Amino acid sequence: MLRKARIGDVKAIHKMINKSSSQGEMLPRSLMDIYGSLRDFFVYVVDDHSIIGICAMNIIWENLAEVRSLYVDENCRLRGIGRTLVEACISEAITLELFRIFTLTYKEDFFKRLGFKRVDRASLSEKIWSDCFRCSKYPDYCDEVAMIIEL
């Protein structure tokens, strides 16, 4: 079941993000970061109330949003959960009248199937100068692909 994240979900979201970070898939986040951005998150929950997937839609600027922190438990992948989470973020962006949505990803084929197209990271300057500064790969060794969908 898809739903918006709640306060009680923060520690599970934190654990998932930092597990993914330890595998080199995304930047780590502190609990404080997650509490501050909790309203950005959707979670995918199974019958026993366990969270098996997360994704956030972050507003970057008046004309740009980011889909980020996508993670689905390794045992639950290839079931459409990631697609459901990203589509929820896109829907929320559209509701807010944000029609340019981007992501920085290692999963180019996944996002391509959702309609995203590869772009030069330099075209996303609003984003590059915020979170990217915290990454040990910035600026010379970044291997993520910048992708955008314009609706």
Burial of 98 from C-beta contacts in 10 A (0-12 / 13-18 / 19+): buried
133 or 91, which is more confident: 91
Q: Cβ(77)–Cβ(94) under 8 Å?
A: no
Query: Quick one: pLDDT at residue 139?
Result: 54
Query: Quick one: pLDDT at residue 84?
Result: 98
String of b and e for 65-83 (b: at least 16 CB within 10 Å)?
bbbbbbbbbeeeeeeebbe
Q: Is the pLDDT of residue 123 over 90?
A: no
Instruction: Please write the tens of the pLDDT for every residue from 129-140.
Output: 556 555 555 555
Q: Where are the domains of the chain?
A: 2-150
Task: State the pLDDT confidence band at 128, using cuts at 50, 70 and 90.
Answer: low
Mean pLDDT computed over 102-116: 95
Query: Quick one: pLDDT at residue 144?
Result: 83
Instruction: Please write the tens of the pLDDT for every residue from 27-83.
Output: 889 999 999 999 999 999 998 899 999 999 999 888 899 999 999 999 999 999 999
Question: Whole-prediction pTM value?
Answer: 0.90
Query: Quick one: pLDDT at residue 141?
Result: 54
* CATH number, domain 2-150: 3.40.630.30
Q: What dihedral angle (degrees, nearest 10) is formed by the CA atoms of 43, 46, 51, 57?
A: -10
Other Cβ atoms closer than 10 A to 139: 10
The residues, any chain, with a CB within 8 Å of residue 57's CB and separated by 6 or more, are 40, 42, 65, 66, 67, 68, 89, 90, 92, 93, 101
